Each structure stands twice: as structure tokens, then as C-alpha cells.
């Protein structure tokens, strides 16, 4: 990510508007976070998950920003488990 874009994204992440939007989510939610993500810093995932009611946070180890490509089988297993738990 270009440096200016990264800085603007990081600055906006703490916005009260974002926090309010997360708290307003009413659908069961899943956050798939990756330990080696250099685009979305891993420490932000638990913060976001805590603000979303009925949210599940799942970590994928040894993975960067694109788990659906980097760890496809694990990502799809996590997603399938979440979707099946909602039935």
C-alpha cells in the first residue's frame, strides 16, 4: 500500500464513526485475521471484533493479507465452519 494511503487508513480506523458503525452491526460476523498481515495490522483485529456484537475472530498463522490465496484450504475451512454454525 502506498504510504499516504496507509496513513489515512490507519488514522480513520480510530474514528468514532467507524466505532459506531461496528457497534451497529446486527448480523453474525466473522473476522479472519492473519498474523503476518502488513496491510491491516494484526493488533486491530481484536479491537474491531470486540466492537461488533456477535462477532467471531479467527486467526490464520503464517499468512499475510490474502488468506484466500495464501492459505486457501484453511481459509475455506474457517469460512465453511462459520457459515454452517449460522444455520
* pLDDT tens-digit readout, 7-50: 666 666 667 788 899 999 999 999 999 999 988 888 889 989 99
CB contact at 8 A, 13 and 39: no
**Residue 58 pLDDT exceeds 60:** yes
Domain ranges in the chain? Answer: 3-85
Which residue in the block uniquely carries the three cell numbers 466492537? 51
Tell me if the domain spanning 3-85 has CATH number 3.40.50.1820. Answer: yes
Give me the percent of the chain exceeding a pLDDT of 70. Answer: 85
Structure confidence at residue 18 (pLDDT): 83
Model-wide pTM > 0.75: yes
Euclidean distance between CA atoms 66 and 69, whole angstroms: 6
DSSP state of 54: T
DSSP state of 24: H
Structure confidence at residue 25 (pLDDT): 95
Amino acid at each position: 500500500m502506498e504510504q499516504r494511503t496507509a496513513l489515512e487508513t490507519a488514522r480513520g480506523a480510530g474514528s468514532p464513526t467507524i466505532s459506531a458503525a461496528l457497534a451497529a452491526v446486527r448480523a453474525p460476523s466473522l473476522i479472519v485475521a492473519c498474523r503476518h498481515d502488513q496491510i491491516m495490522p494484526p493488533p486491530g483485529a481484536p479491537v474491531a471484533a470486540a466492537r461488533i456484537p456477535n462477532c467471531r475472530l479467527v486467526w490464520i498463522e503464517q499468512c499475510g493479507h490474502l488468506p484466500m490465496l495464501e492459505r486457501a484450504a484453511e481459509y475455506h475451512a474457517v469460512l465453511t465452519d462459520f457459515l454452517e454454525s449460522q444455520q
